[in-house]
Structure 1
Amino acid sequence: MTNQRTIVVGFDGSEEAKRAVQWAAKYAVVRECSLHVVHCSLWVLLSNNRGPVPGVADSGLERAAQKVLEEGLALAQETVPDLEVRTTLLHGTPRDHLARVSLGAEMLVLGSRGLGGFMGLLVGSVSLEMAATAECPVAVIRADDHPEGPVLLAVDDSGSPAALDDACRFAAATGADLMIVHVLHEPAGYRLLREPVEAYPDAEALLDSVLSQARHKAPGVTVAGELLFDASFSKAVVKASQGARITVVGTKGHGVIKGTIGSTAHAVLHHAHSPVLVSRRRVTTEVA
């Protein structure tokens, strides 16, 4: 019987995409999901003649795209031999297809930059756009990987309930510890000018509430929390991400430009020292 719970991973043959496929395969097996490897061929944008070259076996642009997809499939099967994997070859840009293909999926997994990435651009435009528009959680896989580290969850003043769900789900599936942080804004030089405040009752109450919810949602997980102080929410989260297995952040999807995310999620995607999961999941009452 086909597993209805699926993790979708975009693959374009780049080193970043290879890491994404391996990561997605490993996570799919612990979540008891199937894996769907998707390659979006750009050749349709460049040429109408994609058929084989006469007299040349195994040639042509269409066949080249199929080979990329086959490479992704082989990599997933090599990483987790018994994993249920299917593949899809689509024509057009990833932004044209990935949000649609991942609709209803457990997660969409992408490399930090694809073949079209610019040197010096830490996260490609496709990953940023999917983090803002996909209707499922989006994991962006970086070279920084700490498979034995904790799950880091950053919560805002709302308690980030969707991100909490995803972080608990990830920690429960992988057996990782869960570290929950909440950042309080503190202007640069504040502690040099004023005596530090001894207590922050509202923030402490919020963090205690989130910790309690986490322990209820993932009873087998070791959960800890910490209040952080910084002039920048994203800077504090990036610093805390060192050594994390994955950093989970929420997004309301209210970037200034359509198809963008908020500044915090954007900065964390670019600079975190771990893979990043941008949570876009509907809140549920328990962890599955």
Structure 2
Amino acid sequence: MYKSLLVAVDGSQNGRKALELACHLARVDNAELHILHVPEVLPHEATLIWGIGAVAIGDELQEMEALGHRIISGAEAEAQKLGVEKIQTHLVKGEPARTILKQAAGLGAEVIVLGTRGLGDLAGLVLGSVSHKVASNAKCGVITIR
């Protein structure tokens, strides 16, 4: 049914559930599985703190990147353990919803699988959750897991 799937992982429990479902679908269809993690980019390399001035946030960025690599590595190992043969990993910085959509289009994914934070429809509309933005704007199928 699918030749290419994209699963967005963030290290959360719902992200793990999304990975498990995506792995099942990829294994059944012998599809290519793209595992994507999107660490949110901070707007500036330094931030202003009242009374102190500009403070470098380089260490925090390095920690976020290291965490992203651990999330991707763990997801890839889990996918291999679950029997997926064709796996590609992607660590792309940016605004999560926009980056997921761009990557899905660029990779030719036929479906995006991602977890939700468990927000209801109204809360998702008000807060603009990543899963809601992706589901509303994707040009391919979207499966959200709670």
| Shorter-normalised TM range | 0.7 to 0.9
C-alpha displacement of 1:32:
2.1
Would you say 1:127 and 2:131 are equivalent positions?
A: yes
For this pair of structures, how many residues does the alignment match? Answer: 125
Q: Could you tell me whether the CA contact under 8 Å between 1:35 and 1:84 is conserved in 2?
A: yes
User: Which of these residues, 86, 91, 94, is aligned with residue 93 of structure 2?
Assistant: 91
Q: Partner residue of 1:65?
A: 68
The residue identity in structure 2 corresponding to 1:69 is I
TM-score (norm 2): 0.75
SS in 1 for 2:38: strand
Q: Could you tell me whether the CA contact under 8 Å between 2:39 and 2:64 is conserved in 1?
A: no
Q: How far, CA to CA, are the matches of 2:90 and 2:43 in structure 1?
A: 20
Tell me the alpha carbon deviations over residues 226-265 of structure 1, each in whole angstroms, 9 at most, x when there is no partner. Answer: xxxxxxxxxxxxxxxxxxxxxxxxxxxxxxxxxxxxxxxx
Q: Quick one: percent identity of the two aligned structures? A: 32
Change (3 A) 1:36 1:122: same
Q: How far, CA to CA, are the matches of 1:36 and 1:73 in structure 2?
A: 9
Q: Partner residue of 1:140?
A: 144
Point out where structure 1 has 5 or more consecutive residues left out of the alignment.
53-58, 114-119, 143-288
TM-score (norm 1): 0.40
Question: Considering only aligned residues, what root-mean-square deviation do their CA atoms show, in Å?
Answer: 2.4
Q: How far, CA to CA, are the matches of 1:30 and 1:139 in structure 2?
A: 16
The residue identity in structure 2 corresponding to 1:45 is L
Change (3 A) 1:46 1:79: farther
4+ residue segments displaced more than 6 Å: none
Would you say 1:37 and 2:35 are equivalent positions?
A: yes
Q: Could you tell me whether the CA contact under 8 Å between 2:5 and 2:112 is conserved in 1?
A: yes
C-alpha displacement of 1:74:
1.7
Point out where structure 2 has 5 or more consecutive residues left out of the alignment.
46-56
Q: Could you say which structure has the higher helix fraction? A: 2
User: Which of these residues, 99, 109, 116, is aligned with residue 112 of structure 1?
Assistant: 116
C-alpha displacement of 1:100:
1.1
SS in 1 for 2:119: coil
Change (3 A) 1:25 1:130: same
Higher relative contact order (Cα pairs below 8 Å, separated by 6+ residues) = 2
Q: Could you tell me whether the CA contact under 8 Å between 1:25 and 1:83 is conserved in 2?
A: no
The residue identity in structure 1 corresponding to 2:63 is G
Q: Could you tell me whether the CA contact under 8 Å between 1:112 and 1:122 is conserved in 2?
A: no
Q: Partner residue of 2:53?
A: none
Q: How far, CA to CA, are the matches of 1:35 and 1:135 in structure 2?
A: 18
SS in 2 for 1:9: strand
Tell me the alpha carbon deviations over residues 94-153 of structure 1, each in whole angstroms, 9 at most, x when there is no partner. Answer: 11211111113121001122xxxxxx62475111111111110001123xxxxxxxxxxx
Q: Could you tell me whether the CA contact under 8 Å between 2:111 and 2:143 is conserved in 1?
A: yes
Q: How far, CA to CA, are the matches of 2:115 and 2:4 in structure 1?
A: 18
The residue identity in structure 1 corresponding to 2:25 is Y
Q: How does 1:1-288 map to 2 (within 5 A)?
A: 5-42=3-40, 44-45=41-42, 48=45, 49-50=57-58, 60-80=63-83, 82-103=84-105, 104-113=108-117, 121-122=119-120, 125-142=129-146
